Amino acid sequence: MTYAGLDIGTSGCKVAVYDLEGNIIFQASRKYNVQGKEGIYEINPMEVLSQIKSVLKEVGNNCPKPIDAVAIASLGESIVILDENDYCLINSMVVGDQRGIEEVKQLIAAMGKKQILDITGLPPSEMYGLPKYMWINNHTNAIKKAKSIMFYEDYIGYILTGKKVVSYSSASRSMAFDIEKKQWSKKLLSHAGIQASQMSTPREAGTIIGTILPAIAKELDLHPHMQVVVGGHDQSCAALGSGLSKLNVGECGMGTCEFMFVMLPHAQKTSYMIKNGLTCVPYVLPDKYLTSTMVTTCGNLKNWGIGTVLNKVKAESENKDIDFFTYIDSLIDKKETSILLLPQFGSSGNPDIDYGAFGTITGLTIHTKVEEIYQAILEGIAFNMLLGYETIQEQGGRIKTMICTGGGSKSKLNLQMRADIFNMDVATINSEESGTLGCAILAATATNAFSNIQDAIDHMVHIKDLYRPNSTRQKYYHDKFIKFKELYKKMHNFI
């Protein structure tokens, strides 16, 4: 028996097919274009659909075994608006699009931050869906003409089955979903001129939506009895695929942005969460909630360093035919420096979310080596994540082990640094595709291949490496983190 995960991201989609031991049998991916500039960033739903069909057809034609069930993960906030003929009325805004800034101010003025948090579990922000939907309603006729308003998760589920069903975790990204009643908030939707009837039916992750439509199965060469299962928001599915199922385990996705997810002992909605930008969102596990902390510039900040001050080091690694990251890790391993860096180069995450922030580098001398600046980037990201984690601890979220996924988790030095700075075990998993693996876990459990999700995790998620805190580095990082917090207080809002 085989189970698949379809992960729909901002700039591409991928499918991975798994056996019951979590081994990848077949995988494929496609890219699509992000359009726009200067605060306007969009994807075309028809192009996305075309690429998703293409990747599914490749799986149908080439996967050695037929797929029994598939679940879908997708990017949050972005919506597909369809008219009565299922014609797409508008492109989808994606991460980085700044439309909605004024609308979130209007929403806060009308309802107040605490009331919005009490309903949605989200501190109001333009990064979530509703302010962007308000902008669409204020500037276009798309919502007025819409028969269906869907996230990419339920849109593709609709294409495959003809049924409109969305997960709680995706619905919560709208900032218009009541996370405890598990239903759309008519009051919040009304601010964007949206009727609840235009939205898909919310359901628990791991619920079977239905069997693939015969015509679609034929078009894509997929198993005619393949079941389609409710998946979730891509970050929640990635957390599940990393094995996050216990209160004392957290998951950290190290990519373009870095997110750390921690399970809360119960749903929480406090003024402290508003102040520190903390969320309380439905997880893909029944009646479980996640909170998170993030740093928004990680991958881009590393690329900035590589493309500016580290050109010489990059050339050296190429001349020696050594992978750049392996080479620079060898240059900074076990080094101690006086350099401190605030990683908010253009935007910042928790505890002070700000999309117009500026970064800081201090502690430089004429003897500073360029690789030490890269070390400061890694340390600064980790310190900023720890700053956010301290606010999570105030809400009762405490972990003993951090499971790391994504590109940043390929660096052993980065992982050991994280273990030393957080003073906890850091682990990686065998699979590099935690998002699709999380979906496969949901699909397999929904179709009774496993008795429950924990049973599926035990069979399909496997720890690869474990990094324990190094006591010899504790004082260096402890003292430096104290200085980092002082620098953060002084410089976060300096410009």
196 — phi, psi (to 5°)?
-60, -30
Q: 69-74 and 227-233: which strand pairing?
A: parallel
Q: Which helix (H) or strand (E) holds 110?
A: helix 101-111
Q: 425 — phi, psi (to 5°)?
A: -70, 140
pLDDT of residue 458: 96
**Rounded-to-integer distance, Cα 296 and Cα 429, Å:** 23
Q: In whole angstroms, what is the distance from residue 18 CA to residue 426 CA? A: 25
CA separation, residue 22 to residues 68, 138, 431 (Å):
15, 47, 8
User: For residue 129, what are the CA distances in angstroms to 67, 132, 163, 170, 399?
Assistant: 33, 5, 22, 11, 30
- CA pair distance 3, 144, nearest whole angstrom: 39
3-state secondary structure of 101: helix
What one-letter code names the amino acid at 80?
Answer: V
Q: Maximum distance among all alpha carbons in the chain?
A: 69
Q: What is the pLDDT of residue 495?
A: 73
Query: pTM for the full model?
Result: 0.91
| Separation between Cα atoms, residue 3 and residue 16, nearest integer Å | 8
Sequence-distant (≥ 6) Cβ neighbours of residue 451 within 8 angstroms: none
Q: What is the CA radius of gyration of the chain?
A: 22
Q: What is the mean pLDDT of each run of 10 residues along the chain (495 residues)?
A: 96 96 97 89 97 98 97 96 97 91 96 97 94 98 98 98 98 97 98 98 98 98 98 94 94 89 91 93 92 91 94 95 95 96 91 87 96 97 97 92 92 96 96 93 98 96 96 94 97 84
In angstroms, rounded to a whole number, what is the distance separating the alpha carbons of residues 470 and 58? 46
Q: State how far the Cα of 256 lies from the Cα of 408, in Å rounded to an integer.
A: 9
What is the C-alpha separation between 104 and 172, in angstroms, rounded?
16
pLDDT at 83: 98
Nearest to 485 by CA among 394, 377, 379, 387: 387
Cis peptide before 351 (omega within 30 of 0): yes
Using alpha carbons, select from 251, 488, 172, 174 the residue that is nearest to residue 352: 488
Q: What is the pLDDT of residue 96?
A: 80
